[in-house]
């Protein structure tokens, strides 16, 4: 490209006004020149902001540079002394239907992650989406969401999002892009589009897939590559190998009595995990009289939340896990494999016991291989399920959910190869970021250099955008029309709630615009595609309206079928696996529990969300086992050089109890160079060591560098170490009460007897009287997976600020709900317990008496109210709170300057200023909303009418909230359970929040975990 210097056109106010006249809607602008759209402003912008500066040096002379500087100074002055344009605020002439100021509206929509859709209900305040909830009717959600969906609203408003089409780093326009790209594509017509490549993540959207297919038909020799850095390659390939055809499998955990998870985190990550967690917990809730409970075994190479829920968890390196799986398959008779003679005694016993237990439950057992497990492990899992008669019962097979490109498809490796060979002229990346997340063995930069036209569609000017000639901002899912399929194939509609804030386009719109002469809106495109999906005998408009309202098409899941297992393939896989053990140290890669594959790197809520087991924030670390740490003389925070596959990477280590000795885990998603102001430069990039699509690499070497790094964790990490008081004290204080199902049957109220103290009702102070409602909350510890959805949901609902790594490191995170993690027992194989802790709303609240200004007071419904306006910030209340649930604005944490973030806020919740204490309110704004509605209807608030944000989002329904004065409310019923106990009730605070003890179902054959669990029954 040549850049011929043009004479600057004089900038006139007339031009500015003219532009403003034509502009409507929420367009933000930075100065008059931007509005005037002058080339010199655009030039200046490009030069001034290095992120958008063109990579090609074009020799700006000293003279030219001075001229530019002069111009920018002059422009700066111009902005300062011009009157801002007059803006009139007028009421609606025609009141839009159903908009009542102050009352939110909810719309069904969907978010996709890794291609798979989850149905959502997005809340809109006067046209601003502020919060999403799960769509209770959607099969993948059932009303719950994961933390990514909760944080997605922040991503939408992210001021760092890309805001304009750029060409060679300079601001350009959508029409210019279209014209240029269409020209380039048609130039390749003669070749049948042979040199055109499309790169996208996994696509389940039928409309996008159909549109891409149209492009592929138009250019029959073009190819479409799907690349998902945290994808499910092993699962897809494994199913294909086991059955000889592409099939998708999904599970029904509500029918499973015995579940074996092989390196799977199915309850907290991956498609369907929300549904799986709900179904799983439906078999784990024990109440007196209902004696049965499912059992979960987990063998895993890196500790996961799913593993922490297992009744028996076995940490194994990847190699050992393969041996174990083979032995198990052989034991079950599912595969012809060598006996388990290479397994240790303990593992062999484990295999025998688990196999026996599985065999006892034909048709109601389940073997699950993880999304990150290799292909062969999946083959064995299918074989075992087949052998156990689980197919069709706990495992369902169907056609694949992701769209298939047919013979015009290809893998990422093939794309890199083709590019390197100079066979690609046009590369269109739809939301992919290969420059960052390409595996280490692909020389992606060299390959991309050979592509003459690189086009990037993405939400940020990311690593790949910087390296593309054309960049088009991608619209967020809340801004654009689309569709997708859920884990079971359910057709799900994605409905926008707002016009694209920054003028982005969706992949659907972009691809369609490249092939159609006439550009059509996303809505038109989608409707056109959905015409074909109208059920027989139904009129389209009605079908469309209903689907739009519901957010999905009920009953559209892919029909189950029974593919035939290829026994030869199973035996081959077993042979492959049993030969695979390499020994030595291995490096295991996993998608990050909070930033996934790096796409959420610029989301402060997710960055600051403590990762489930490490409670680490803002970065990743190489997780190593305590034994390995001891052997290598390493401590948490020591920086080591990881050497594997001829590459090296420096990373801090984190000593994680329960990590297998032979494995080191490194999460993806960090080490982003240009993620934005929040996410750039955090952690280390695991992709730099990752071989193509593999989740594991052997032959790892750790070389200490002697350097140390401060890692920001929200909880002391070593509360399991011997002679460390934290773990011991947690035990002695009976904070988490756990019992086995046997103990529960023997003594259902065991949890109420483990601690002895004075009667909490004894008090010198008169009690409170609650004539109306008495709000209370209960948490079922057994159902908590530690998935963090509640933490981010609370943050979104309550306008909780992000404080940054340095502040977290000194102990100033602001989360109103935290998930306390306690280890129990052995260092190498500890039991893990999660305990969500929010404000307890004590009857005799220690905070209330010590506040000198009465800023925290007891309400007549039992809430411990925080009056922000009255708070002067003595912090006495926090000091006196035994649960340490109060959070203080030590500095001005809330960002009240960035205009776009103002739109994000929940208007029903005050934004807190510096020097003010805050804490969980039981979502008092929701209580008040329900009260208003009940008062209007002249009735009492019904049970279940109020859901706190944490309760609503919880995938396993581990939280109950309601009126304690109503003996029939759900929360009252929970509190009547014999397992109900109050945290630290010996202090006499009489908390309103209580816990149901965790019940486990260990197999007596395995003798329980290495150490006895928290004893049930009397003692002391």
Partner 1 sequence: MSDPLGKAPIVAPGHTAGSVTDKISSIVFERTPRWWWAAFGASFLLVMMLLHSLTKLLFTGVGIWGINIPVGWGFAIINLVWWIGIGHAGTLISAILLLLRQEWRTSINRFAEAMTLFAVACAGIFPLIHVGRPWLAYWLLPYPNTMELWPQFRSPLIWDVFAISTYATVSALFWYVGLIPDLATLRDRSVQRWKKMLFGAFAMGWRGSAVHWHNYEVAYLMLAALATPLVVSVHSVISFDFAVGQLPGWHATIFPPYFVAGAIFAGFAMVLTLSIPLRRLFRLEDFITLRHIQNMAKVMLATGLIVAYGYMTEIFMAFYSGNQFEEFMILNRIAGPYRLYWWALILTNVLAPQAIWLRKVRTSPALIFLVAMFVNVGMWLERYVIVVTSLSRDFLPSSWGTYSGTYWDWSLFIGTIGLFLALIFLFIRFLPMISIFEMRTILPGAKGNPE
* Position among 213, 359, 647, 812 found at the interface with partner 1 (CB under 8 A): 812
* Position among 73, 187, 810, 967 found at the interface with partner 1 (CB under 8 A): 810
The whole-angstrom separation of Cα 617 and Cα 610 is: 5
The whole-angstrom separation of Cα 776 and Cα 960 is: 8
Give per-residue burial for 257-271: e unless 16+ CB within 10 Å, then b. bbbbbbbbbbbbbbb
Binding mask 712-751 for partner 1 (x = CB under 8 A): ---xx--x-----xxx-xx-xx-x----------------
Binding of residue 849 to partner 1 (CB under 8 A): yes
Binding mask 56-95 for partner 1 (x = CB under 8 A): ----------------------------------------
Contacting range for partner 1; rule: CB under 8 A; set: 28-36, 95-103, 847-855, 924-932: 847-855
Backbone φ and ψ for 966, nearest 5 degrees, come out as -95, 105
Q: How far is the CB of 730 from partner 1 (least distance, A)?
A: 5
DSSP code per residue over 157-183: H-TTS--S-EETTEE--HHHHHHHHHH
Torsion of the alpha carbons at 665, 666, 667 and 671, rounded to the nearest 10: 170
Q: How far is the CB of 983 from partner 1 (least distance, A)?
A: 8
The whole-angstrom separation of Cα 904 and Cα 914 is: 20
Which residue's CB is nearer to partner 1, number 75 or number 822? Answer: 822
Binding of residue 807 to partner 1 (CB under 8 A): yes
Binding of residue 835 to partner 1 (CB under 8 A): yes
3-state secondary structure of 286: coil
Binding mask 263-302 for partner 1 (x = CB under 8 A): ----------------------------------------
Q: Dmax over Cα atoms in the chain, in whole Å?
A: 92
Q: How far is the CB of 809 from partner 1 (least distance, A)?
A: 10
The whole-angstrom separation of Cα 856 and Cα 887 is: 13
Tokens of 603: 């989301």
Binding of residue 891 to partner 1 (CB under 8 A): yes
Binding residues among 917-936 for partner 1 as defined by CB under 8 A: 917
Which residue's CB is nearer to partner 1, number 173 or number 896? Answer: 896
HSE of 667, CA atoms in CB hemisphere, 13 A:
30
Strand blocks (E) in 292-447: 295-300, 312-315, 365-369, 395-398, 409-410, 426-430
Q: How far is the CB of 604 from partner 1 (least distance, A)?
A: 18
Q: How far is the CB of 662 from partner 1 (least distance, A)?
A: 30
The whole-angstrom separation of Cα 993 and Cα 201 is: 43
Torsion of the alpha carbons at 907, 912, 917 and 918, rounded to the nearest 10: 30
* Position among 887, 905, 975, 992 found at the interface with partner 1 (CB under 8 A): 887
Binding of residue 837 to partner 1 (CB under 8 A): yes
Instruction: Answer for the pair 783, 293: CB distance below 8 angstroms, yes or no.
Output: no
The whole-angstrom separation of Cα 853 and Cα 870 is: 7
Binding of residue 874 to partner 1 (CB under 8 A): yes
* All residues at 6 or more sequence positions from 824 whose CB lies less than 8 Å from its CB, including other chains: 720, 727, 731, 736, 738, 830, 831, 832, 833, 1011, 1013, 1014
The whole-angstrom separation of Cα 299 and Cα 324 is: 9
Q: Give the residue from 834, 918, 833, 925 showing the smallest Cα distance to 881.
A: 918
The whole-angstrom separation of Cα 325 and Cα 322 is: 5
* Position among 99, 523, 872, 967 found at the interface with partner 1 (CB under 8 A): 872
* Position among 393, 693, 880, 980 found at the interface with partner 1 (CB under 8 A): 880
Backbone CA torsion sign across 450, 451, 455, 459: negative
* Position among 445, 446, 853, 932 found at the interface with partner 1 (CB under 8 A): 853
* Position among 987, 1003, 1008, 1015 found at the interface with partner 1 (CB under 8 A): 987
Q: Looking at the chain, how many residues does it have?
A: 1020
Binding mask 504-543 for partner 1 (x = CB under 8 A): ----------------------------------------
* All residues at 6 or more sequence positions from 227 whose CB lies less than 8 Å from its CB, including other chains: 199, 200, 201, 411, 412, 415, 432, 434
Q: Are strands 622-624 and 696-697 parallel, antiparallel or unpaired?
A: unpaired
Contacting range for partner 1; rule: CB under 8 A; set: 135-143, 223-231, 302-310, 807-815: 807-815
Binding of residue 822 to partner 1 (CB under 8 A): yes
* Position among 407, 852, 936, 1012 found at the interface with partner 1 (CB under 8 A): 852
Binding of residue 882 to partner 1 (CB under 8 A): yes
How many residues contact partner 1, by CB under 8 A?
56
* Position among 103, 564, 768, 884 found at the interface with partner 1 (CB under 8 A): 884
* Position among 984, 997, 999, 1006 found at the interface with partner 1 (CB under 8 A): 984
Binding of residue 710 to partner 1 (CB under 8 A): no
Binding of residue 1015 to partner 1 (CB under 8 A): no
Which residue's CB is nearer to partner 1, number 416 or number 842? Answer: 842
Which residue's CB is nearer to partner 1, number 118 or number 864? Answer: 864
Which residue's CB is nearer to partner 1, number 618 or number 822? Answer: 822
Chain centroid to CA 247: 26
Which residue's CB is nearer to partner 1, number 356 or number 729? Answer: 729
Backbone CA torsion sign across 334, 335, 336, 339: negative
Q: How far is the CB of 732 from partner 1 (least distance, A)?
A: 6
* Position among 546, 870, 1018, 1019 found at the interface with partner 1 (CB under 8 A): 870
Which residue's CB is nearer to partner 1, number 620 or number 807? Answer: 807
Contacting range for partner 1; rule: CB under 8 A; set: 53-61, 189-197, 815-823, 903-911: 815-823
* Position among 3, 705, 879, 896 found at the interface with partner 1 (CB under 8 A): 879
Which residue's CB is nearer to partner 1, number 317 or number 844? Answer: 844
Instruction: Answer for the pair 737, 985: CB distance below 8 angstroms, yes or no.
Output: no
Backbone CA torsion sign across 494, 499, 505, 511: positive
Binding of residue 767 to partner 1 (CB under 8 A): no
The whole-angstrom separation of Cα 176 and Cα 164 is: 12
Instruction: Answer for the pair 594, 600: CB distance below 8 angstroms, yes or no.
Output: yes
Tokens of 170: 């300079």
Contacting range for partner 1; rule: CB under 8 A; set: 659-667, 683-691, 890-898, 1009-1017: 890-898
DSSP code per residue over 682-728: -S--GGGT--TT-SEE-S-EEEEEEEE----BSS-TTTTSTT-HHHH
Q: How far is the CB of 347 from partner 1 (least distance, A)?
A: 33
Binding of residue 850 to partner 1 (CB under 8 A): yes
Which residue's CB is nearer to partner 1, number 23 or number 733? Answer: 733
* Position among 873, 907, 978, 1015 found at the interface with partner 1 (CB under 8 A): 873
Q: How far is the CB of 891 from partner 1 (least distance, A)?
A: 3
* Position among 67, 890, 925, 1008 found at the interface with partner 1 (CB under 8 A): 890
Tokens of 79: 């902005």
Instruction: Answer for the pair 644, 701: CB distance below 8 angstroms, yes or no.
Output: yes
Which residue's CB is nearer to partner 1, number 688 or number 850? Answer: 850
Contacting range for partner 1; rule: CB under 8 A; set: 177-185, 291-299, 391-399, 886-894: 886-894
Given the rule CB under 8 A, which residues bind partner 1? 715-716, 719, 725-727, 729-730, 732-733, 735, 807, 810-812, 818, 820-822, 835, 837, 846, 849-854, 870-876, 878-880, 882-884, 886-892, 913-917, 983-984, 987
């Amino acid at each position: 490209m040549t850049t011929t210097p043009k004479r600057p056109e004089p900038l006139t106010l007339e031009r500015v006004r003219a532009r403003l006249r034509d502009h409507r809607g929420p367009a933000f602008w930075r100065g008059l020149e931007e509005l005037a759209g002058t080339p010199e402003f655009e030039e200046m912008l490009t030069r001034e902001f290095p992120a958008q500066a063109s990579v090609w040096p074009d020799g700006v002379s000293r003279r030219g540079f001075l001229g530019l500087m002069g111009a920018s100074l002059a422009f700066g002055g111009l902005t300062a002394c011009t009157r801002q344009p007059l803006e009139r605020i007028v009421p609606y002439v025609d009141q839009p239907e159903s908009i009542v100021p102050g009352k939110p509206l909810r719309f069904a929509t969907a978010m996709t992650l890794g291609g798979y859709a989850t149905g959502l209900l997005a809340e809109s305040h006067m046209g601003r989406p502020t919060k999403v909830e799960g769509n209770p009717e959607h099969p993948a959600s059932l009303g719950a969401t994961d933390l990514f969906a909760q944080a997605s609203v922040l991503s939408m408003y992210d001021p760092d999002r890309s805001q304009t089409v750029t060409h060679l780093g300079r601001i350009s326009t959508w029409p210019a892009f279209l014209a240029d790209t269409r020209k380039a594509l048609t130039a390749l017509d003669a070749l049948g589009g042979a040199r055109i490549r499309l790169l996208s993540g996994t696509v389940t959207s039928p409309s996008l897939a159909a549109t891409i297919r149209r492009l592929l038909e138009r250019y029959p020799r073009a190819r479409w590559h799907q690349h998902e850095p945290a994808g499910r390659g092993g699962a897809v390939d494994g199913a294909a190998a086991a059955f000889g055809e592409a099939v998708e499998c999904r599970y029904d955990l509500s029918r499973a009595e015995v579940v074996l998870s092989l390196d799977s985190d199915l309850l907290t990550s991956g498609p369907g995990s929300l549904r799986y967690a709900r179904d799983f917990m439906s078999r784990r809730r024990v109440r007196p009289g209902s004696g049965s409970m499912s059992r979960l075994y987990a063998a895993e190479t890196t500790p996961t939340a799913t593993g922490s829920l297992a009744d028996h968890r076995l940490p194994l390196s990847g190699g050992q896990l393969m041996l174990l799986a083979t032995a198990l398959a052989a034991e079950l008779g599912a595969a012809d494999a060598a006996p388990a003679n290479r397994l240790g005694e303990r593992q062999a016993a484990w295999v025998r016991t688990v196999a026996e237990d599985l065999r006892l439950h034909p048709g109601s057992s389940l073997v699950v291989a993880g999304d990150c497990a290799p292909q062969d492990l999946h083959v064995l899992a299918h074989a075992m399920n087949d052998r156990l008669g689980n197919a069709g019962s706990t495992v369902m097979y169907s056609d694949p959910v992701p769209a298939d490109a047919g013979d015009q498809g290809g893998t990422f490796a093939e794309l890199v190869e083709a590019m390197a060979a100079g066979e690609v002229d046009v590369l269109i990346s739809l939301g992919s970021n290969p420059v960052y997340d390409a595996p280490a063995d692909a020389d992606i930069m060299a390959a991309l250099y050979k592509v003459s036209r690189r086009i990037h569609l993405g939400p940020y000017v990311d690593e790949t955008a910087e390296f593309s000639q054309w960049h088009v901002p991608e619209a967020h899912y809340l801004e654009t029309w689309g569709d997708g399929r859920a884990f079971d194939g359910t057709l799900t509609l994605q409905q926008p709630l707002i016009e694209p804030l920054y003028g982005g386009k969706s992949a659907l719109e972009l691809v369609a615009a490249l092939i159609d002469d006439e550009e059509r809106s996303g809505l038109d495109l989608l409707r056109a595609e959905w015409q074909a999906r109208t059920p027989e005998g139904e009129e389209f408009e009605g079908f469309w309206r209903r689907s739009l309202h519901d957010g999905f098409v009920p009953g559209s899941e892919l029909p189950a079928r029974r593919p035939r297992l290829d026994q030869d393939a199973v035996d081959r896989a077993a042979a492959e696996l049993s030969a695979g053990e390499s020994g030595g140290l291995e490096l295991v890669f996993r998608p990050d529990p909070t930033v996934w594959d790096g796409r959420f790197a610029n989301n402060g809520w997710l960055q600051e969300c403590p990762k489930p087991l490490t409670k680490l924030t803002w970065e990743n670390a190489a997780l190593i086992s305590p034994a390995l740490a001891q052997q290598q003389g390493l401590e948490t925070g020591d920086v080591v050089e990881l050497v594997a596959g001829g590459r090296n990477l420096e990373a801090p280590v984190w000593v994680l109890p329960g990590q297998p000795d032979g494995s080191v885990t490194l999460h993806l998603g960090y080490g982003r160079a240009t993620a934005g102001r929040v996410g750039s430069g955090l952690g280390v990039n695991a992709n730099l060591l990752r071989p193509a699509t593999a989740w594991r690499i052997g032959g790892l070497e750790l070389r200490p560098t002697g350097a140390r790094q401060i890692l920001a964790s929200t909880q002391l990490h070593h509360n399991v170490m011997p002679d460390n008081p934290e773990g011991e004290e947690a035990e002695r204080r009976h904070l988490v009460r756990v019992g086995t199902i046997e103990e529960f049957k023997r003594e259902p109220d065991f949890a109420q007897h483990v601690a002895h103290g004075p009667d909490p009702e004894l008090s010198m102070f008169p009690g409170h009287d609650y004539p109306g409602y008495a709000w209370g909350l209960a948490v079922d510890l057994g159902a908590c997976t530690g998935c963090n959805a509640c933490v981010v949901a609370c943050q979104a609902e309550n306008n909780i600020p992000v404080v940054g790594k340095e502040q977290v490191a000194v102990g100033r995170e602001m989360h109103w709900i935290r998930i306390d993690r306690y280890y129990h027992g052995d260092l190498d194989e500890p039991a893990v317990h999660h305990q969500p802790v929010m404000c307890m709303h004590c009857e005799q609240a220690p905070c209330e008496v010590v506040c000198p200004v009465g800023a925290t007071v007891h309400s007549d419904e039992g809430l411990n109210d925080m009056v922000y306006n009255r708070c002067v910030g003595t912090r006495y209340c926090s000091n006196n709170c035994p649960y340490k649930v109060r959070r203080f604005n030590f500095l001005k944490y809330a960002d009240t300057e960035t205009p776009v973030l103002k739109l994000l806020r929940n208007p029903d919740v005050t934004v807190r200023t510096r020097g003010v204490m805050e804490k969980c309110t039981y979502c008092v704004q929701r209580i008040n909303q329900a009260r208003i509605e009940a008062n209007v209807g002249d009735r009492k608030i019904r049970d279940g009418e109020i859901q706190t944000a944490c309760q609503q989002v919880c995938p396993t329904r581990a939280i109950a909230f309601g009126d304690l004065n109503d003996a029939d409310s759900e929360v009252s019923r929970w509190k009547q359970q014999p397992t109900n106990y109050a945290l630290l009730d010996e202090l006499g605070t009489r908390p309103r929040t209580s816990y149901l003890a965790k019940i486990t179902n260990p197999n007596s054959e395995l003798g329980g975990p290495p150490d006895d669990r928290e004893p049930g029954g009397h003692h002391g």
